[in-house]
Structure 1
């Protein structure tokens, strides 16, 4: 039969059926519909957005709570731990592909469409009929001056500050991880709160940057291909930073309650993986979107 420990390590925990995925889907759909309607000026007000966001956050926290109880209750075997690692790895890979699509759209517009519209290498001179005066200069608000004139955000201003903030947060969460593995829980909690504070600081400065872009630079989602790719890339990254900051907060609170052990803490590691991914994406954004 084997020892109880050996039997537990070979068991695979299967959770009970849950309604949380379906309720979370409802909250996310309400949020997306509300935001899309707001952007298209075809909405009934901000109520769907606030309800969707509130419902999503509530479900996420309840879901986290259930997973924490399962983990601390000793219901996860070594096989479950390996499954979580594979699952998190594939999730981050899907996120890499998600951002790759938007980076690809930016490269396509900047490196291929702009030269075509200006007549470079074109086999058919349709640009002479459609936009004869178009100049393929980046950043562009598109043919026919879509959205009016705008200014870009200098790379070595708030974007550089946010880059330093995120790089610093990568260092602090790594220090927290080392402290946890060494059994220094108090020091780990201190480093984690520092990481949360840096994540919140990043979001604050990005919100300030957006308000400055809209109100003073006339840089909006309607500012041609540059405006749309700029806000799609930086906006989705901001959403990932928001989710990552929420997860960091949950992990820190769990640490304060005595959760996680030096040799068993994948919940912590999974969030750290995600946060490092967010850091790397931002470095790419800083170079491609702001600097070049």
Structure 2
């Protein structure tokens, strides 16, 4: 190819065949399968009864945690290896402007899918609070349904008194003050420190870049520690558990999945901190850092909606 054509057409990098997608698929399957079994049987309410003969369900219920741990180990190994390959390709100068655009589009689609993920959960909360509970309380044309099913039921959120004896409701709702408010301040602060770090990267100030990225990662760790503390308080002091009706299930579904995303984002920030200390990223080539910043800001915005609709309202 002539020099003129080389200048006209940018290079296009085609990665080698990778084993990591199939490894990740296996890890995700084991993670979901083992985790679902472990959660179902850890409550004690749905654990299969022991029998005199062989029972695959009884046997597997004792191994759900092992399958979950195996899937988690495979996922960690997959992410570590895949990230290492991608970093080596980037640092080797193999990527072009076209690859940079592809990475950005992929990250935007990924965050869009995450938005839909949380929209579904917020939709479940909205459906329960705005439609189902008034319907069970007899609003509209449902007086007969109310009288036949739950004549003593009143529409009130958070629902701590359950219209059935099968589950025990929470003794008290989780308020917005205290740990939830502190965690909100922590995440807002972390967005500010990450923005400072991002601008420092563009300005070539590597000292500020390293310090503020490390501070953001530390704030993520503190958030997760306080959320664990909040969960312990919810279980022991408030009786708020996964088994305490629709309020408990939606509370832990939303805050738990958000906590999982904060965990992923914190790991990402720690990796970015290590890469910065190793001399990676320049003002011109730093998409991996921008992707982490996009993801972290997305997690922060989700928490603001969560704080308002789960804790405040």
Q: What TM-score bracket applies, with the shorter chain setting the length? A: over 0.9
The answer to whether 1:143 aligns with 2:152 is no
Compare 70-79 and 44-53 and name the one that shifted more: 44-53
Correspondent of 2:74 among 55, 58, 70: 55
The answer to whether 1:103 aligns with 2:122 is yes
**Cα contact 2:32–2:68 (8 A) shared by 1:** yes
The answer to whether 1:197 aligns with 2:215 is no
Q: Tell me the secondary structure at the aligned position of residue 143 of structure 1.
A: coil
How do 1:40-119 residues align onto structure 2 when only pairs under 5 Å count? Answer: 40-41=40-41, 42=47, 43-45=61-63, 46-119=65-138
The answer to whether 1:217 aligns with 2:241 is no
1:184 maps to 205
Moved over 2 A (4+): 1-7, 145-150
TM-score if structure 1 supplies the norm length? 0.95
**Cα contact 1:162–1:202 (8 A) shared by 2:** yes
How do 1:220-231 residues align onto structure 2 when only pairs under 5 Å count? Answer: 220-231=241-252
Measure the CA separation in 2 of the matches of 1:199 and 1:127: 45
**Cα contact 1:35–1:49 (8 A) shared by 2:** yes
The answer to whether 1:235 aligns with 2:253 is no
Compare 134-143 and 101-110 and name the one that shifted more: 134-143
1:25 maps to 25
The answer to whether 1:156 aligns with 2:190 is no
Pairwise CA RMSD:
1.6
* CA deviation profile, 1:163-202 (whole Å, cap 9, x unmatched): 0111111011111111111111121011111011000000
- Relative to structure 1, the CA distance from residue 64 to residue 153 in structure 2 (aligned partners, 3 Å threshold; closer, same or farther) is same
TM-aligned CA deviation for residue 143 of structure 1: 2.4
Measure the CA separation in 1 of the matches of 2:222 and 2:151: 46
- Which 5+ residue runs of structure 1 have no aligned equivalent? none
* CA deviation profile, 1:109-128 (whole Å, cap 9, x unmatched): 00111100000112562121
TM-aligned CA deviation for residue 105 of structure 1: 0.3
Measure the CA separation in 2 of the matches of 1:120 and 1:259: 61
State how many pairs are aligned: 291
- Which 5+ residue runs of structure 2 have no aligned equivalent? 42-46, 48-60
TM-score if structure 2 supplies the norm length? 0.89
- Relative to structure 1, the CA distance from residue 248 to residue 5 in structure 2 (aligned partners, 3 Å threshold; closer, same or farther) is farther
TM-aligned CA deviation for residue 56 of structure 1: 1.1
